[in-house]
Chain A
Amino acid sequence: QKEVEQNSGPLSVPEGAIASLNCTYSDRGSQSFFWYRQYSGKSPELIMFIYSNGDKEDGRFTAQLNKASQYVSLLIRDSQPSDSATYLCAVISAGGTSYGKLTFGQGTILTVHP
């Protein structure tokens, strides 16, 4: 079982719709959860992080965490073509908490079509 799993997609949504990206993790003791966006040929950039159960909102982005289900998601409201990218879920597991070791999923390709 992979430590961090994502559906590789591609996920295709129309412009203006809500894009829902999902991630599951295997280490129940994981502490912190991150969403990165990576445009083709570019390096990852941090969108949001969340470390407590519930929702965290930042503009059009909402991260949701459910530790009991070991599940974290990213919602993108009013999706724009410029949101088309690969979205990487990353987790800091319990063993890596002290020094911040990130474990990434394989990423979900999102395409927003006009």
Chain B
Amino acid sequence: EAGVAQSPRYKIIEKRQSVAFWCNPISGHATLYWYQQILGQGPKLLIQFQNNGVVDDSQLPKDRFSAERLKGVDSTLKIQPAKLEDSAVYLCASSLAQGALNEQFFGPGTRLTVL
């Protein structure tokens, strides 16, 4: 079974530029998550999708971050414009369904450096 795919793996941009990340979840997984992990911290949930609907985006900085999951499969996360503090690893995860006991499987992440 193929895992969660993410691209690119690394991205370096200057502040105020835009960037987009792509995620392809495990086949058949209805729930998709985007996390931000700053160095030395645990992952922080940015947004959670159930199929193509948003379940939770309470911690997404909506003035600069946006995410979509068209057709309930792939997802993109965009930052526009980027700030220095956005430097982090952006992790995508998926689970078969939402709920307390559904294991989340993480992708390899995209390491973003904002200069």
Q: Which residue of chain A has the shortest Cβ distance to B95 in the bound complex? A: A100
Question: What residues on B are CB-neighbors of A107 within 8 Å?
Answer: 40-42
Q: Contact check: which of B41, B48, B104 meets A46 at CB < 8 Å? A: B104
A97 → chain B, closest Cβ, in Å?
Answer: 5
Pairwise interchain contact B106-A100, C-beta atoms closer than 8 A:
no
Question: What residues on B are CB-neighbors of A31 within 8 Å?
Answer: 100
Q: Contact check: which of A8, A51, A88, A99 meets B55 at CB < 8 Å? A: A99
**Interface bracket on A:** 20 to 34
> Bound complex: CA of A92 vs CA of B51, how far in Å?
21
Pairwise interchain contact B107-A102, C-beta atoms closer than 8 A:
no
Q: Contact check: which of B45, B55, B109 meets A102 at CB < 8 Å? A: B45
> Bound complex: CA of A11 vs CA of B99, how far in Å?
32
Question: Which residues of B are interface residues toward A (Cβ below 8 A)?
Answer: 31, 40-45, 48, 50, 55-56, 91, 95, 98-104, 106-109
